[in-house]
Structure 1
Amino acid sequence: MYGLIGRMVAVAGRREELLDILLSQISDMPGCRSYVIARDPAHEDGIWISEVWDSAESHKASLALPAVQATITKARPLIAGFDNRHETEPLGGVGL
């Protein structure tokens, strides 16, 4: 399995608007075992995204899906950047 944990930073004061876009656009992504979006309680503009995929290839392929591309296009103006990104090798857990 392949995992990613990263913190996205919204444009100042626009986190809730960005969260609405991210949460409303979640669709079926082949190979995705878990996709969790969460507020960062310690950073007023921070959003944590945790992902588990069957493989790194499944994750890469998801970025070409029309629904994912549409979400990226809609969200991009509200994203100030990414300040943390960590790849992981998930071994198991609930829901995987």
Structure 2
Amino acid sequence: MSDPSGRVGRYVRMTARPGQGAALAETLLRVADGLRGAPGCELYVINTSPDEDDVVWVTEVWADEEASDRALSGELGEVGIGDVLELLAGPPELVDLTPLGGAGLSR
């Protein structure tokens, strides 16, 4: 089922270098602060994994693919993406989604 609004969603699983999970979470919270008010960013939530100390999940919802691309390419200014990459043990794992609605999302 596709979203006629064009919204895109994503779960991103990031694994930090050993012992760096808390630093990764703090850095991602800075990224999230930098995205407040960013055009097209509807949701950017940082989550920790209760049973994996070095794993951090990001839940994203964007108005459209262009807004997501703009944010990830750095056009929104320096929000700490480089700092995030330095803490990672490997590439992030992405799960692309089609948001349909729900509590916290306007229709």
* TM tier relative to shorter chain: 0.7 to 0.9
Q: Secondary structure at the match of 2:45?
A: strand
The sequence identity of aligned pairs, in percent, is: 36
Aligned 8 A contact 1:7 1:82 in 2: no
Using structure 2 for the length normalisation, give the TM-score. 0.79
Aligned residues: 94
Aligned 8 A contact 1:2 1:90 in 2: yes
**How far does the alpha carbon of each residue in 1:18-73 deviate from its partner, in whole angstroms, 9 at most, with x for none?**
111111332222101111111112322111111001111110011222133xx011
- 2:16 pairs with 1:7: no
Task: List structure 1 segments (4+ residues) > 6 angstroms apart after TM superposition.
Answer: none
- 2:73 pairs with 1:67: no
Q: 1:83 to 1:18 in 2, by over 3 A?
A: closer
- In the alignment, structure 2 segments of 5+ residues that lack a partner are 1-6
Aligned 8 A contact 1:11 1:80 in 2: yes
Partner amino acid, structure 1, of 2:28: L
Q: Which residue of 1 aligns with 2:30?
A: 24
Structure 1 vs Structure 2 CA RMSD:
1.5
Instruction: Flag the structure with larger Rg.
Output: 2
Moved more, 21-30 or 71-80: 21-30
Q: Which residue of 2 aligns with 1:79?
A: 88
Higher strand share: 1
Using structure 1 for the length normalisation, give the TM-score. 0.87
- In the alignment, structure 1 segments of 5+ residues that lack a partner are none
